Amino acid sequence: MLERPDASSVSDPVLRKVFWGLAILGLVSFLALSLGSGINADDKFQNAYSQKLVDYYSSFGRDTAALKVSDGNMHLYGGFFEIVTGFTNKALGFSDSELAYHQVRHLFSAGLGWVALLCAALLARLIAGWKAGIFSLLMLLLSPRFLGDSLMNPKDIPFAAGYMMAIYNMAAVLGRMPAPGRWNIAGLVAGLALSLAMRAGGLLNFAYLFLFAGLFLVLKNGWGGLFNKKIFGRYAAVVISVALAGYMAALLFWPFALQNPLKNPFYALAKFSDFEIAIRVLYDGVNVKSDQTPWHYAIRWIVNTIPLAAVFGFLGSLALLPRLLRRYQPLWVGLVFFAAIFPVFYVIYKKSNLYDGWRQLTFAYPPLVIAAALFWNELIRMLSAKKVLQYATYAGMGLLLTDVAVFIARNPKIPYVYFNPLAGGINGAYGRYETDYWGLSIRQGIEWMEKEGILKPDMPGVVVIATNMFYPAQKLLAKYGDKVKLKYLKWERRCDDAWDYGLYPTRFIDGSALSKGLWPPDNAVYMVQAGGTPLLAVLKDNGRNCALGIAAMKLGDWNGAIENLKKEVASVPDNELAWSSLAQAYLNSSQLEEARTAAEKTLTISPNDVGANNLLGLYWINKGDLGRARAQFEGALKREPSNPAAYYYLATISQRQGDNQTALNQLRKAIEISPTFKPAYEFSAMIYESVGNTSAAQQFRSIMQQIK
């Protein structure tokens, strides 16, 4: 069956008006909300690439910096978004130190998010009528994660727009073969070009086109159509010409691909399928490296963060799939499910390195919503003879969307941190999953400081601000010039330098500390929240005791360090960094019991603190209890496998017990984790010398000397 059995519903004038009314409302909402969004931390790479691309095209290719961008490997990404926004900002005279520069980018991102939303709804309408299209619109408009990314995500949202534009127009073009509409052909070319001009993964759309064109030809004309020169020739002419036009148009926005059009896009795709950056992420309450997350990472994130109407709708669509395939054009139903499911299972199969939830799979979400819309539409159609049940279904769907609507209304600047009731809402997810991984709340923290008069143009002195989200803070504070000094300090190194205020989101904070309510610390003067859950803390440092204590430790002044760090923990009792440093200072001044007490206090605040766990092991070594020391270091490695010092001290214990081979194995593991860990090389050399293997000892010392 190749025609929709309910094609007449497409002409319903009331539903058509509702559809376009919602679509226009969505566009206005997306654009308006984008102006209030913060700057995402990854824009550091995007904006630098944008400027290089502008220079490349402005110089007609003479400036080649855009051809190789080692910072973030940005040259492996298509440059459509960066080129368009870069030249727009250049024409308007905005620099990246102005908020307006970033708002221009946000407006374009929001517009492309709307394009993805609209194309998804149009595909739902093409398959099952205006009502299905309206359901798709509603669920996408009320998807906080999709909405939130649309406000500021310059990578994943434009790609999703190209993905959906290609898929919708693919169905529209093939459905009208052998005489497809010109606008749909143009839309298909644009979708293919946009997706590839953003990311090498856009080649997937070209594969979809050839696959589904072949399937449609066979379904419509039988196997004989493959051998009919006229029919096959017409299909081949359209598909090949569209594919070539889309491919060549994409190359115009991708300098790296232009250098070798037949090789470089595929090279980039091979690199893209295996994300190279491994960062620490919080998943299911545990801080792990992104290349070590379990297979269900993406699936659980999706299930926990999309509207319940989409969750239950998609599951329902799977249950009704045989009926949907009979009722509607089976190929387009299959296309929707394939476009939603295949990318997710492909990254699972490839064991791809995913992080920041499912944002790299944003493009697969609109097709998922279409499938959910088909379920709700079909369920209501099935209940058409039972009005009470039909109205109850409308009410049920509305109820499932109420939670997300309320969250968006209450958190319009940062809706992407939403978690649905399956995760216990954002409060239930706190400490188990990342919330503001983009660092958008930096803007809200700075706006609070401005409201309180801490930051103002006529400040009498310099305000020193520390943060681990340097890029967004730097751009938002640029207007203050030398009146504000910004310092990049990781959370676990925040006492390495002195500052007046700190801006720290929950990103990279120990999950157990979050879930136990041990964050933010006592010196927080303000919190940016969503649903009552902290996203960012504005800290105030009184006395700079922690920084002074750390500085004294670097000089070997243990008494000075102890004095300042004791003042810090008296002022900020839950500063785990100060307690851990105090334990180190006590240990180095041979105050063993005080060191143990301080280390144990650290672990009550941050159980996974590497330094404190290692210090307790050292305490037992100094006490001569090697058994308890070994148990402590082995426990520390269970908490944090990337702990070279723990392996080093285990090697120390093994060597003392006369087991040189085990000691060398443990030192090898320390070196594998940290190839620049000099003590492991020196200790290995010492062991080899002790057993008379001078050549191996010399080899280790030679390597050690080459380490900077």
User: What are the percentages of helix, strand and coil residues in the chain, rounded to 5?
Assistant: 70, 5, 25
H-helix segments, 59-155: 80-92, 99-128, 130-141, 144-150
pLDDT band for position 450 (50/70/90)?
very high
For 680, half-sphere exposure in the C-beta direction (CA atoms, 13 angstrom radius) is 25
Please report which helix (H) or strand (E) contains residue 610, including its range.
helix 610-622
For residue 178, say if its preceding peptide bond is cis, omega within 30 degrees of 0.
yes
Least confident range from 18-27, 169-178, 181-190, 270-279: namely: 270-279
- Can you name the residues that pair with 280 across neighbouring β-strands? 289
With helix as H, strand as E and coil as C, how does 284-318 read? CCEEEEHHHCCCCHHHHHHHHHCCHHHHHHHHHHH
Least confident range from 236-250, 267-281, 422-436: namely: 267-281
Q: Is the pLDDT of residue 2 over 60?
A: no
Judge contact between 421 and 403, C-beta under 8 A: yes
Please give the structure tokens belonging to residue 455.
């930051």
Phi, psi of 526 (to 5 degrees): -160, 150
pLDDT band for position 422 (50/70/90)?
very high
Mean pLDDT along residues 652-679 = 92
DSSP count for the chain of H helices, then E strands = 32, 7
Phi, psi of 625 (to 5 degrees): -100, 85
456-477 pLDDT tens trace: 988 889 999 999 999 999 999 9
Strands 524-530 and 533-540 come out as antiparallel
Q: How far apart are CA 617 and CA 629, in angstroms?
A: 5
Spacing of C-alpha 389 from chain mean position:
40
Mean pLDDT along residues 449-462 = 93
Instruction: List all residues 6 or more positions away from 508 whose beta carbon is below 8 Å from its beta carbon.
Output: 280, 468, 490, 491, 492
- State which fold the 643-708 domain adopts: 1.25.40
Give domain limits for the chain.
7-410, 441-540, 559-636, 643-708
Exposed / middle / buried, residue 481 (Cβ in 10 Å: 0-12, 13-18, 19+): exposed
Query: Which pLDDT score is estimated for 74?
Result: 87
123-169 pLDDT tens trace: 999 999 999 999 999 999 999 999 999 999 999 999 999 999 999 99
CATH class of 559-636: mainly alpha
Phi, psi of 374 (to 5 degrees): -60, -35
Q: How far apart are CA 241 and CA 213, in angstroms?
A: 13
- Give Cα separations from 120 to 1, 71, 314, 667, 673 (angstroms): 23, 34, 15, 55, 46
For 595, half-sphere exposure in the C-beta direction (CA atoms, 13 angstrom radius) is 23
Judge contact between 614 and 643, C-beta under 8 A: yes
For the entire predicted model, the pTM comes to 0.89
Please give the structure tokens belonging to residue 195.
């997706």
Q: Is the pLDDT of residue 11 over 60?
A: yes
Q: How far apart are CA 261 and CA 200, in angstroms?
A: 12
Domains 559-636 and 643-708 share a fold: yes
